[in-house]
């Protein structure tokens, strides 16, 4: 029997979504307002290490995502 759900974590909360769902679908299932913020460019999705994740990334069981604010660089700022 094939499991029809994928279990992932968004901002430390577990959620089960249908197999074939994308990363943004998991956010939308728990935090619709934050998903809208990602769509608008105010927020971004990262993995558990803080690296950016594509919102259309296919989900795998146990994946951990975080929603973070987008910080814009100031003109002339140095790294």
With beta carbons less than 8 A apart as the criterion, state whether 34 and 27 touch.
Answer: yes
* The pLDDT value given to residue 71: 82
CATH hierarchy code of domain 5-69: 3.10.20.90
How far is the CA of 52 from the CAs of 29, 63, 76, in angstroms? 20, 13, 23
Token pair recorded at residue 52: 């950016």
With beta carbons less than 8 A apart as the criterion, state whether 55 and 43 touch.
Answer: no
Per-residue pLDDT tens digits for 32-76: 999 999 999 999 999 999 999 999 999 999 999 999 999 865 555
Query: Residues for the chain: how many in total?
Result: 79
Predicted TM-score (pTM) of the model is 0.84
């Amino acid at each position: 029997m094939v499991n029809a759900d994928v279990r992932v974590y968004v901002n430390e909360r577990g959620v089960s979504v249908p197999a074939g769902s994308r990363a943004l679908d998991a956010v939308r299932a728990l935090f619709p307002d934050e998903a809208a913020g990602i769509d608008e460019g105010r927020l971004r999705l990262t993995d558990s290490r803080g690296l950016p994740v594509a919102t259309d990334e296919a989900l795998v069981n146990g994946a951990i995502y975080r929603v973070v604010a987008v910080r814009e660089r100031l003109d002339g700022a140095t790294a």
